[in-house]
A and B are shown apart, each in its own frame.
Chain A
Amino acid sequence: MEISSRGLITQIHGMLFGAFFLLAIFAVAVELWRTVYETEPRVLSGTGRSMERLYLIGTALIGWAAVLTGAYIVYPWYRAIPPVGVVSLAQFPQALLKSSPTTAGWHSLGMEWKEHIAWFAPIAMTMVAYVSIKYGSSIRKHRQLRNALLVFVLVAFFAAGVAGYFGAEIDDHAPVQGGSTAIHWMGGSH
């Protein structure tokens, strides 16, 4: 059981940061939606407020980790240009996808969309974290603020979902491979 170092980092980008970010955004959406139907103001202890702040800041930070590792570590491997004379495109995912009309769309639509819209999510969640922390439970008194937060959270969920879906499909059709180290799991054959 073996994985390349590039494959592992790609999984950390997508499965750890990306997937957790998506789940965390969903939880924020549920929590905000709940406040719409709140009849009594909630009361959090000091520790509860600290944990809430930690969660919101952590969500935004994981979003930034997802896009930054994607753009500055994984994406350069993805878009590497194969040298002249290379026979196998296995280590050049973008070129591999574009080499066939049946897979080219995963780049021209999937990656082209994902690489830009993904950034909407951490921008939106940073704003949501700031406003939520700044206004605390008094956000109930600022309905327009809360409505805006809900819209931004839903957009963040959509953006992270688009990025996650196309990321998974692209990695399925043309996985990022290679790297200097092969990592062996569970004592598999070396």
Chain B
Amino acid sequence: MNSPSPHNPSAVPTAVVSDLPNGPGAAAILSAGLGCFLLSVFAVLADASKPVTKFFTYYVPTGPLSGVTTTAILLWLLTWFVLARMWRHRTVALVKINVAAFVFLLLGILLTFPPFADLLLRK
């Protein structure tokens, strides 16, 4: 916590900041994990099906990568916005939130790894 001191007269007391509930942080963490996971799920779906590939081709020169990433980013931001509104004044069970976010991240990394995705798709 910053506090005014002889060495740092411009420091501003941040007692209010330190009393922040963990809800806003938890919302950001969970939505980021979910966003990464969704991106990888969309990537696998686009790889598995021609209609999905076509659906995600928002910008032809970039191909389905354009739709996969744009959709995932929009859903990430939407989830973040909703969770942040819900939890802005709340203190939540952060251990559970962290575990969920880490599982999303791990699954996301696995699904983006081509040999693993190919195994799932039996390619």
Contact = CB atoms under 8 A, between A and B. Distances in A.
Interface of A: 41, 43-47, 49, 67, 71-72, 75-76, 79, 108-109, 112-113, 115-117, 119-120, 123-124, 126-127, 130-131, 134-138, 141-142, 144-145, 147-149, 151-152, 155, 158-159
Interface in B9-49: 10-12, 14, 17-18, 20, 22, 24-26, 28-29, 31-32, 35-36, 39-40, 43
A43 B8 contact: yes
Contacts of A152: 29, 32, 101, 105
Contacts, number: 133
Contacts of B113: 113, 117
A155 B105 contact: yes
Q: From A116, A120, A134, name the one whose CB has the most chain B CB atoms within 10 angstroms.
A: A116
Label chain B's interface by main secondary structure: helix
A138 B61 contact: no
Contact of A134 (B24, B40, B73, B105): B24
B98 A144 contact: yes
A44 B105 CA distance: 33
A144 B18 contact: no
Contacts of A124: 32, 36
A76 B61 CA distance: 5
B112 A75 contact: no
A72 B58 CA distance: 11
Given A72-B61, A131-B24, 15 more contacts: A41-B2, A71-B62, A71-B65, A109-B114, A113-B114, A117-B113, A119-B36, A119-B72, A127-B29, A127-B31, A138-B1, A141-B18, A148-B94, A151-B102, A152-B32
A148 B101 contact: yes
Given A119-B69, A135-B17, A151 B2 contact: no
B interface bracket (residues with beta carbon within 8 Å of A): 35 or more
A130 B24 CA distance: 10
Given A75-B65, A127-B32, A130-B28, A116 B43 contact: yes
A127 to B, nearest CB: 4
A90 B74 CA distance: 36
B25 A142 contact: yes
A45 B32 contact: no
Given A123-B32, A131-B28, A138-B20, A116 B68 contact: yes
Contact of A72 (B31, B62, B95): B62
